[in-house]
Amino acid sequence: MKQETRKEEIIRVAAKLFKEKGYSAVTMRDLAKALGIKAASLYNHINSKQDILKTIIISVAEEFTYGMDKIINSEVSNISKLKSIVALHVNITANNTNGMASLNNDWMHLEDKLDYYMQLRDHYENNCIQIIKRGILASEIKECNPEIIMFSMLTTLRSLYLWMPKKEDFNTQDLVNNLTEVLIEGINK
Amino acid sequence: MKQETRKEEIIRVAAKLFKEKGYSAVTMRDLAKALGIKAASLYNHINSKQDILKTIIISVAEEFTYGMDKIINSEVSNISKLKSIVALHVNITANNTNGMASLNNDWMHLEDKLDYYMQLRDHYENNCIQIIKRGILASEIKECNPEIIMFSMLTTLRSLYLWMPKKEDFNTQDLVNNLTEVLIEGINK
DNA sequence: ACATTAAACTAACACTTGTTAGTTTGTTTG
DNA sequence: CAAACAAACTAACAAGTGTTAGTTTAATGT
Residues A95-131: tens digit of each pLDDT: 999 999 999 999 999 999 999 999 999 999 999 999 9
CATH number of the domain bearing residue B105: 1.10.357.10
Using alpha carbons only, give the angle A124, A130, A134 rounded to the nearest 5 degrees: 155
Cβ within 8 Å, pair A155-B151 = no
The DSSP bridge partners found for residue A188 are A141
Domain membership of residue A181 (yes or no) is: yes
Domain membership of residue A8 (yes or no) is: no
A108: containing domain: 49-185
Average pLDDT, chain A: 94
> How many folded domains does chain A comprise?
1
A186 vs B127 pLDDT, higher one: B127
The reply to whether A133 has its C-beta less than 7 Å from any atom of strand D is: no
Please give, rounded to a whole number of angstroms, the shortest distance from the CA of B148 to a CA of chain A: 7
Domain membership of residue A166 (yes or no) is: yes
Q: Is B20 on the interface with A (CB under 8 A)?
A: yes
| Cβ neighbours, 10 Å, residue B108 | 14
Residues of B in contact with A20 (CB under 8 A): 108
CA distance linking residue A108 with residue A2, whole number of Å:
32
pLDDT of residue A5: 87
In tens, the pLDDT along B42-100 reads 999 999 999 999 999 999 999 999 999 999 999 999 999 999 999 999 999 999 999 99
Domain membership of residue A26 (yes or no) is: no
Residues of B in contact with A163 (CB under 8 A): 151, 155
CA distance linking residue A107 with residue A113, whole number of Å:
9
pLDDT at B187 over 60: no
Cβ within 8 Å, pair B159-A159 = yes
Residue B56 DSSP SS3: helix
The DSSP bridge partners found for residue B94 are none
CA distance linking residue A87 with residue A100, whole number of Å:
15
Q: Cα–chain-centroid distance for residue A169?
A: 21
The DSSP bridge partners found for residue A141 are A188
Q: Residues of chain A with pLDDT > 90: what percent?
A: 87
Which residue of chain A is at minimal alpha-carbon distance from B109?
Answer: A21
Alpha-carbon dihedral of residues A12, A18, A24, A30, nearest 10 degrees?
A: -70
List the single residue in B24, B144, B186 with the smallest CB-CB distance to A24: B24
The reply to whether A27 has its C-beta less than 7 Å from any atom of strand D is: yes
User: For B119, what's the count of Cα atoms within 13 Å in the CB-facing half-sphere?
Assistant: 7
Domain membership of residue B44 (yes or no) is: no
Most confident of A143-157, A166-180, B11-25: B11-25
Domain membership of residue B34 (yes or no) is: no
Residues of B in contact with A149 (CB under 8 A): 182
CA distances from B59 to A91, B26, B36, B64, B136 (A): 37, 20, 26, 9, 32
* DSSP per position, A1-19: -PPPPHHHHHHHHHHHHHH
Catalogue the long-range contacts made by A146-149 (C-beta closer than 8 Å, 24 or more residues apart).
A147/B167, A148/B175, A148/B178, A148/B179, A148/B181, A148/B182, A149/A187, A149/B182
